[in-house]
Amino acid sequence: MHEYQAAQLLADYQVPILLGKPAFTAEEAIQAAQEIEAGQGEAKGLVIKAQIHAGGRGRGTFRESGLEGGVHLVDDASRIVELAPQMIGNTLVTKQSGAAGKPCNALYVVEQVAMARELYVAIMLDRSRAAPILICSSIGGMGIEEIDKEYIKTFEIDPSVGITEDIVQQAVDAFDVPAENQESCAQAVRGLYNCFAENEATLVEVNPYALLEDGRLLVCDTKVNIDDSSEFRHKELFALDDLTQKDPSEVEAESWELNYVKLDGHVGCLVNGAGLAMATMDYIKFNGGDPANFLDVGGTSTVERVFEAVRIINEDEKVDSILVNIFGGIVRCDIIVDGVIKAMRELSIDKPVVLRIKGTNADIAQETVANAGLPIYWENTVQDAVQKVVALTA
């Protein structure tokens, strides 16, 4: 979720957030700034933030305009007249965005506040413990990764019980806030957990969670990630997804229920099962090659889905060869081969394709390949297949 979306979600759980408004044009940003100024009652200043799916915005650079920084503190709305056109519609490159950067199609204009202290709080899914964990720190801000561990407190939450009042109180103690702030702090911790649990999140992070000079505790920046597997239960949340933040090929792959991530190598990979896909990528690296993608066709593949998988891989200009590594338990090997052959014929693919296929109907698949008359290499082991595809790529 973008920051403005995550902040609004937290507000729905009675977690206090900054006064702010999203904007999708420079004109809307100026109008939002004027409305926030009117709501403040007195001049306090504003912050304009680029909305992209990557961290490090404050130290990023807009490629087209050359503007330094994706987050700017300004005295009043007049400065936003100058900044907004240099941000909206431009590409912001940060340490976390990769060299390609991310398109900035939205801005978040918020009130500027005076912070007395910056705190940190997050709830995340710890898969090793099969439970959510609550992380609290009396020190937050941009240097959270470097602070001493003695300031960070971690609490495991039993998902069958939820957050208890004992854990809430320990969290409040960890923040080391004044007595008059403890109840509002406790309410925020409860709200964060309820947001995490009810929306099936994998992460709800607030940094900084700020104690202001006027005594209030406010969320000043937040990040929320929702478990992809829960989409069918939270369609309204997934409808908020900004697809411009993703690689177009990854978006297209999702429409075919393919798990695809584009990488920088030259060996295209078509595999069934995430574990086998990761192992296959390692094999390629160990043998001197570089995988061009992660692609898991899953266990319920059809000829059409395999066809689209091969098409997406082939359209990557960096791909020089394609490795198909299938262990057919649920998925039928002959369906995989039919999809690959259909793609090679209809798309006129002339890149070499190497198959290592074992499992259900593998004998039928091998016979089909033998009779296809196409540049397809059949190998019996993963090692042989990887060595062949790397050699063909070199």
How far apart, in Å, are the Cα atoms of 41 and each of 45, 130, 212? Answer: 11, 47, 17
353-359 and 321-328 beta bridge pairing = parallel
Of the residues 205, 209, 308, 379, only one is catalytic, namely 205
Helix, strand or coil for residue 137?
strand
Q: Can you tell me the distance from the alpha carbon of 249 to that of 91, in angstroms, rounded to the nearest whole number?
A: 19
- Report DSSP letters for 164-188, one per residue: -HHHHHHHHHHHT--GGGHHHHHHH
Q: Considering only CA atoms, which of 339, 338, 270, 340 is closest in space to residue 298?
A: 270
Active site residue 367: no
**Active site residue: 13, 120, 193, 283, which one?**
120
Active site residue 205: yes
Provide the total of helices (H) and of strands (E) in the chain, helices listed first.
12, 19
Q: Which amino acid is at 219?
A: V
Cβ(318)–Cβ(264) under 8 Å? yes
List the one residue out of 224, 192, 220, 216 whose CA is nearest residue 58: 220
Contact 63, 90 (CB under 8 A): yes
Q: Which residues pair with 378 in a beta bridge?
A: 355
> Phi first, then psi: what are they for 229, rounded to 5°?
-70, -10
Pairing of strands 321-328, 267-271: parallel
Backbone angles phi, psi at 205, to 5 degrees: -125, 135
Q: Which residues of 218-227 are buried (b: 16+ CB within 10 A; e: fewer)?
A: bbbbbbbebe
Q: Where are the alpha helices (DSSP H) in 88-204?
A: 165-175, 182-198
Give the residue numbers marked as catalytic. Answer: 120, 205
